[in-house]
């Protein structure tokens, strides 16, 4: 007997499809988690001991590699072999950590940790954590993992995002998307489904090693990130180090060993967590080999130590509100374990004038949101997809003639995005050019960060300004940049996926925007000067070349007068006053108009030489014939 599936008239029959498995991963600085949505329940997957969080710690011994709680046991015993907080180092340079007393670097130029198992990069450490999460999840799932949504701080730059992808690939995990952590938190709360009317949400995300503040406009099915800010090197680790330094100082340990530093860090982290509910705590400090065996730390002492770091987060909040041109928000969501600190919660409430929304576990909310998005991206909820519109944190552009920056994609532009702009050559006969991609908010290349360089060759030799080169910037949904340059006449093409060797350091990522605002007037003047100099140099070079070829068209007096104006322009350029340069350039341009007219007449005469008048009359008649 053949069974027939019956459907209502006009309706397509339902086709049974096997549910695909996607997971959400929060690769954290202090702890990492993996979550899964099974169609009914959103679950943060636990280990055999019932623990949801996996400490982001890896131990590399001669005979074994351990991850998580097992690795933490070696932190005080073998600090050099026990790597923690590797997320803070993803996509960053060696120079940023050479003076860090908590890190033991391997030899060589790259950023790598020296361990008994050999040099280990932050990407390898992160891959070990991701692999452990994958193995934890597999027994809970009914089939193979199709892919994962991995969350990253909104302020991660291209290098840091690329490093996260590389870690996932090394762990054998297909990345469906890199999702900004604040957006993931909003997804976890289901705030898009609750927002019948447009509302504004602030997500304050303070984790172990990174801080983000994002402003999202929400309505049913849509998240639009209006502005984002933060610091990719600020978080609970800084809280712990400040308190650890206080403990060592209070115990007069002036030159602590690596073991003492790790013991102090562990005590500081435990103290910080206990002071969430207690006014003061007593600590056993015998492990520091101090004279005293016990010390008391009060919550007020902790708050004094944390105050500078909390204020840095609030400054970023105020700047992000200004960027979005808003004065108030409808709701505030707290994300990240460091937001459990009472001083942080109170500071956020005072800053926004609202009690923060924190009914979901701040440690788990990001992974839960990523799991919801992964379930959509693997195709399980095609009709239920929420549209997520993230933004890029810093402007992207190119170096142009004169060392100036031409912005192609402005900061806080919604991604994915593609922008194209035409450029041309600066010199006669130029057959190639170097495309220099930069990132930042300043007007001069020297004040921005260089991302990449690549060459475009095969440009036909033409006079300066005749070639047409289209440069396209594409930023995908993960915030990763691809730049292509195409010469329009020949189709010659060159492109690059920007893969810088390291990311923005702690100072750069927080100061680039600040510098852009502080030096706005100075940058405008610098740009005016640069543009004036470029225009003047082009006119001088063009006239010098023209006088070499057609100087006989000028009388001795005319040539002398033109030469005098050219020398005057050169002298004015040396004084670096943009208005004076523009005035002298205009004067020289007017003085050269007669010479330019004579050159044009000569060119026309050469072109018409040997052409009969009757032939010209015939061509004109044909053109005028309807």
Provide the annotated active-site residues: 26, 87, 181, 205
Whose CA is closest to 398, among 451, 362, 347, 461?
A: 451
Q: What are 439's strand-pairing partners?
A: 396, 449
Strands 82-84 and 147-152: unpaired
| CA torsion angle 338 344 345 348 (round to 10) | -120
Helix (H, G, I), strand (E, B) or coil at 238: helix
Please provide residue 409's backbone torsions phi and psi, each rounded to the nearest 5 degrees: -120, 120
Q: Which two tokens stand for residue 459?
A: 């440009």
How many residues appear in the chain? Answer: 626
Element holding 227 (H helix, E strand):
strand 222-231
| Residue 311, Cβ density class (10 Å: 0-12 exposed, 13-18 middle, ≥19 buried) | exposed
Helix (H, G, I), strand (E, B) or coil at 580: helix
CA distances 227 to 82, 318, 395, 506, Å, are 37, 11, 13, 20
User: What is the three-state SS of 149-210?
Assistant: EEEECCCCCHHHHHHHHHHHHHCCCCEEEEEEHHHHHHHHHCHHHHCCCCEEEEEEEECCCC
Helix (H, G, I), strand (E, B) or coil at 304: helix
Q: Tokens 């740009």 appear where?
A: 527
Separation between Cα atoms, residue 469 and residue 440, nearest integer Å = 23
Separation between Cα atoms, residue 372 and residue 192, nearest integer Å = 12
Helix (H, G, I), strand (E, B) or coil at 410: coil
């Amino acid at each position: 007997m053949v069974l027939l599936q019956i459907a209502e008239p006009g309706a397509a029959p339902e086709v049974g499809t096997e549910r695909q498995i996607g997971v959400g991963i929060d690769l954290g600085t202090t702890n990492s988690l993996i979550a899964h949505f099974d169609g009914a329940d959103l679950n943060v997957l636990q280990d055999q001991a019932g623990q949801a969080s996996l400490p982001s710690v890896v131990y590399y011994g001669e005979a074994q590699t351990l991850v998580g709680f097992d690795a933490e046991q070696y932190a005080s015993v073998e600090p050099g072999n026990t790597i923690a907080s590797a997320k803070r180092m993803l996509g960053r340079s060696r120079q940023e950590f050479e003076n860090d007393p908590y890190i033991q670097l391997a030899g060589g130029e790259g950023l790598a940790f020296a361990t008994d198992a050999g040099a280990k990069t932050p990407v390898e450490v992160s891959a070990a954590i991701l692999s452990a999460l994958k193995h934890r999840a597999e027994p809970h799932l009914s089939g193979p993992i199709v892919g994962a949504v991995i969350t990253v701080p909104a302020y991660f730059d291209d290098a840091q995002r690329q490093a996260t992808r590389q870690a996932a690939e090394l762990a054998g995990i297909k990345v469906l998307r890199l999702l900004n952590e604040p957006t993931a938190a909003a997804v976890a709360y289901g705030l898009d489904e609750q927002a019948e009317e447009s509302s504004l949400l602030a997500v304050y995300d303070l984790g172990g090693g990174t801080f983000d503040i994002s402003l999202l406009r929400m309505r049913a099915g849509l998240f639009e990130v209006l502005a984002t800010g933060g610091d990719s090197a600020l978080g609970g680790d800084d809280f712990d180090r400040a308190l650890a330094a206080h403990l060592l100082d209070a115990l007069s340990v002036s030159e602590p060993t690596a073991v003492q530093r790790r013991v102090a860090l562990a005590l500081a982290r435990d103290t910080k967590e206990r002071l969430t509910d207690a006014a003061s705590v007593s600590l056993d400090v015998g492990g520091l080999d101090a004279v005293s065996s016990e010390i008391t730390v009060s919550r007020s002492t902790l708050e004094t130590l944390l105050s500078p770091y909390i204020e840095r987060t609030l400054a970023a909040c105020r700047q992000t509100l200004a960027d979005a041109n808003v004065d108030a928000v409808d709701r505030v969501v707290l994300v990240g374990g460091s937001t459990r600190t009472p001083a942080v919660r109170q500071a956020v409430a005072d800053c926004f004038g609202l009690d923060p929304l924190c009914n979901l576990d701040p440690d788990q909310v990001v992974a839960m949101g990523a799991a919801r998005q992964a379930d959509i991206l693997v195709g399980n909820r095609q009709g239920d997809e929420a549209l997520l519109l993230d933004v890029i944190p810093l402007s992207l552009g190119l170096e142009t003639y004169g060392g100036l920056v031409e912005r192609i994609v402005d900061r806080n532009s919604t991604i994915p995005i593609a922008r194209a702009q035409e450029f041309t050559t600066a010199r006669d006969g130029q057959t190639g050019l170097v495309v220099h991609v930069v990132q930042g908010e300043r007007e001069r290349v020297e004040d921005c960060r260089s991302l990449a360089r690549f060459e475009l060759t095969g440009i036909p030799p033409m006079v300066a300004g005749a070639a047409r080169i289209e440069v396209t910037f594409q930023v995908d949904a993960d915030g990763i940049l691809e730049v292509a340059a195409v010469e329009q006449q020949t189709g010659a093409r060159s492109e690059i996926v920007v893969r810088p060797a390291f990311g923005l350091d702690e100072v750069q990522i927080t100061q680039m925007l600040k510098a852009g605002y502080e030096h706005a007037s100075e940058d405008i003047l610098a740009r005016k000067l640069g543009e004036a100099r470029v225009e003047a140099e082009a006119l001088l070079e063009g006239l010098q070349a023209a006088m070499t070829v057609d100087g006989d068209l000028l009388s001795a007096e005319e040539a002398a007068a033109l030469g005098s104006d050219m020398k005057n322009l050169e002298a004015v350029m040396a004084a670096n006053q943009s208005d004076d340069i523009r005035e002298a350039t205009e004067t020289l341009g007017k003085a050269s108009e007669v010479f330019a007219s004579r050159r044009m007449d000569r060119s026309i005469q050469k072109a018409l030489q040997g052409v009969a008048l009757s032939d010209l009359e015939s061509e004109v008649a044909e053109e005028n014939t309807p």
